[in-house]
Structure formats: structure tokens, C-alpha cells
Amino acid sequence: MLVEVEKVLRFDRSPFPIVQVRTPVGRTVVPWCGAPDAVPGRYDVEWTIDMKISWGLDAKLAADPGPAISAGGHGVVLRGRLALTPDGAGVLDLDGSMILLDFVEPPPAEADASWVQIHVSRKDVQLHPFEL
């Protein structure tokens, strides 16, 4: 996904800079796993989520269709289409960017191919820049 890094914040307590990003589907603030001297600008990124998702707590069917990203308190809210895998994991299609999800327990079958909303702690989401 192509994002615009609008602001880069560095904190002594964080191993990664924190970036404010604007995407085609919303804005949020997340850890940056690229070069620590990153500057504002456009970057192709991959999103990763480093936590096990609990259906009904961290994830649920979305009230509205369509991809979205937003900040939510100390977390990030991602809305996309979920594809369940045979092993109980999932892939969230977030406006063409695929995010692998690990679930504590497999979501209900009706979640497959549905729009879902996932709320995760900011520290558990990372952006990894790459070059095309």
C-alpha cells in the first residue's frame, strides 16, 4: 500500500519511530520498521499485526462495508474483507494490501468473505517499507 508519512516521532522508550500516515482509506499513527532516519514522504509499505486476534473482542463484522483505517484511542482500527484459511488464520484485504491475521480461535464461518473491523493496540501494528 502506498502511504504518505506525514510526521515522524522518535521516543527513547520505543525501538521504532512512530509515524503518522495518511492512506487512501484513512489516517493513523503506528510504529515504523524501516530506516530509523525516515523522513516524511511517500512509501510503499506492508502492514503486519503482531498479536493473536480474539473474535468478538478484537474483531467483529463491520457495520459498514468498505476499507478504512483510523486511530482509536491507543490503537488502530482496520476495516477490510476477511478471507479465512483452512488452518484457522485469516487474511485481511485492506484496500488491496493483504494482512495476515492469527486468531486465538477460528472466527465463525459467516465471517469468511465479509467486511470485518479489527481493533489492535498501536504497539502490535507495524509498517514495513519496501521498494518496488
Cell numbers for 9: 516521532
Length of the chain in residues, anyone? 132
Please, which pLDDT band fits residue 24 given cuts at 50, 70 and 90?
A: very high
Signed CA dihedral, 49, 54, 57, 61: sign only: positive
Please state the pTM of the whole predicted model. 0.93
Count Cα atoms within 13 angstroms, Cβ side, for 108.
8
Alpha-carbon gap, residue 53 to 123, rounded angstroms: 14
Q: How far is CA 45 from the centre of its chain?
A: 11
Signed CA dihedral, 63, 69, 72, 75: sign only: positive
For the stretch 40-83, pLDDT in tens is 999 999 999 999 999 999 999 999 999 999 997 889 999 999 99
